[in-house]
Chains A and B, each alone.
Chain A
Amino acid sequence: MNINQIKMFASGTLTTLELTLVSMFIGTMLGLVLALGRISKIKAINRIVWTYVWFFRGTPLLLQIMIVYYGVPLILKDIFGRATALPMFIAGCLALILNTGAYLAEIFRAGIESIDKGQMEAAKALGMSYRQAMFKVIIPQTIKRLIPPYSNEFTMILKDSSLVSVIGLTELARQANQLANGTGNWVFLFYAAGVYLFLTTISTVIFNKLEKRYSVYL
């Protein structure tokens, strides 16, 4: 690899990392809100969230990316007569956020529901509101059990962020493919594989460490 190729490779890796971290960060908040909506006693909210999760878990991420980047401008054009496309990176992130939000919502919901009912009752009997009980008592207890599935979802998004190459965003996989095609040297594809493996392994190690740290009270 010459210096120029290394730079391109690094920038592709950076884009993949940015896509993953931004999507997971915002997606986590979305997932939490959706999970709370899913266990809410208000029927309408429940239904809406159920439908959302059903859609985003039941259709391919690739299609969702296309809808956000190509579909939304066309829809806007049909409604308002003017098409405005989102910047590529934003559209890519948005699709990943919407998708991971749906998966995380189910993970979080299962976590919250796995906590003994007595915990909410104890919190309420001490005068805490539903909100206070959720954020001070229930959710903190779910963290340890959520780490393995969350780690899993993180790895999925890290890998699946490569799908945004379909809208022309040059992240790691697309960059490697371009270099391989340009030079006729397939080794770039395996460099990319190496980088993905490095990143997924590191993230798994970090999440395992975190899980151990949360084990004190079990």
Chain B
Amino acid sequence: MIKVENVDKYFGKLHVLKNVDFHVDPGEVVCVIGPSGSGKSTLLRCLNHLERITNGKIYIGGELVDYRENDRDKMVIEHEKVVAMCGELGMVFQRFNLFPHKTAVENLMLAPMTVKKIDKATAREKAMDLLKMVGLSDKADEYPVRLSGGQQQRVAIARALAMEPKIMLFDEPTSALDPELVGEVLAVMKKLALSGMTMMVVTHEMGFAREVASRVVFMDEGVILEEAPPNEFFGNPKNERLKSFLKKMI
């Protein structure tokens, strides 16, 4: 579903991703953990072109969507392909990034109507279904400022789903939330995982990773140091840095 080959990413001189090889299979839920600044967000952002890689190849759904060497494109990416690719990837941000000038339901309707030219009535119907799925039918006509952080993040998840992505990317979706609001967001994500959605989740929620992930990946200083199913990952970690990281987390 996602395949990343020999990817390097530099910010100026700062080497943030170091020859990363990585893949996510259909239906998998991959959790990525690692210390702050290790490049987890950057990896996610490179997948949907919010950042461009310096070297390497990225495949989405079997299609080569990015191939660069020394910051230069080695292939011509047609605009349609980028749009199609973004359609396959939904993204949920740490700070929600809801559109504040739109109500919850309008937040869900905007992209389908603008990008896919879906008519308003259909978009609204679909949006209401999704709000129901995240348990927020009664908040459809509220503006984001009137919602709690947990509710905003659930709207943000529904908004990404409104574009019918095949893969959902989550960048620390619960880190900006008060502890008592984390549960409701994780519950929605778990529901999504159980429905068979392919997911890649950067998170510090070890409980979630343990329970929901099919595979857990440890990243440090731009390198993937360990990947394993959760039992093995948490029960029998091999890498020393992972061991000390896990100790600190508990």
A: which residues have CB within 8 A of B?
Answer: 116, 118-119, 121-129, 132, 136-137, 140-141, 216-218
User: Does the CB pair A124–B110 fall under 8 Å?
Assistant: no
Question: With A and B bound together, what is the CA distance between A99 and B98 in angstroms?
Answer: 36
Question: With A and B bound together, what is the CA distance between A217 and B100 in angstroms?
Answer: 6
Question: With A and B bound together, what is the CA distance between A83 and B97 in angstroms?
Answer: 57
Q: Is B127 an interface residue (CB 8 A)?
A: no
List 25 interface pairs A-B (beta carbons < 8 Å), by A numbering. Answer: A116-B97, A118-B95, A119-B99, A121-B93, A122-B91, A122-B93, A122-B98, A123-B99, A125-B50, A125-B90, A126-B86, A126-B111, A126-B159, A126-B160, A127-B111, A127-B115, A128-B114, A129-B83, A132-B115, A136-B110, A141-B100, A141-B101, A217-B101, A217-B102, A217-B145
Most-contacted residue by chain A among B48, B93, B99, B102 (CB, 10 A): B99
- How many residues of chain B have a CB within 8 Å of chain A? 27
User: Does the CB pair A122–B86 fall under 8 Å?
Assistant: no
Cross-chain contact of A128 among B89, B90, B97, B111 (Cβ < 8 A):
B111
B195 to A: closest C-beta gap in Å: 20
Question: With A and B bound together, what is the CA distance between A125 and B49 in angstroms?
Answer: 8
B58 to A: closest C-beta gap in Å: 15
User: Does the CB pair A119–B115 fall under 8 Å?
Assistant: no
A163 to B: closest C-beta gap in Å: 37
Chain B residues with Cβ below 8 Å from A122 are: 91, 93, 97-99
Question: With A and B bound together, what is the CA distance between A119 and B110 in angstroms?
Answer: 13
Question: With A and B bound together, what is the CA distance between A124 and B143 in angstroms?
Answer: 21
Closest to B49 in A: A124
Closest to B144 in A: A217
Task: Please name 13 further chain A to chain B contacts, defined as beta carbons within 8 Å, in addition to the given A126-B160, A132-B114, sorted by A numbering.
Answer: A122-B93, A122-B97, A126-B86, A127-B163, A128-B114, A129-B83, A132-B115, A140-B101, A141-B99, A217-B100, A217-B101, A217-B143, A217-B144
B115 to A: closest C-beta gap in Å: 5
Question: With A and B bound together, what is the CA distance between A141 and B97 in angstroms?
Answer: 13
The 6 closest A-B pairs by CB, nearest first: A126-B111, A122-B97, A118-B97, A125-B91, A127-B86, A217-B143
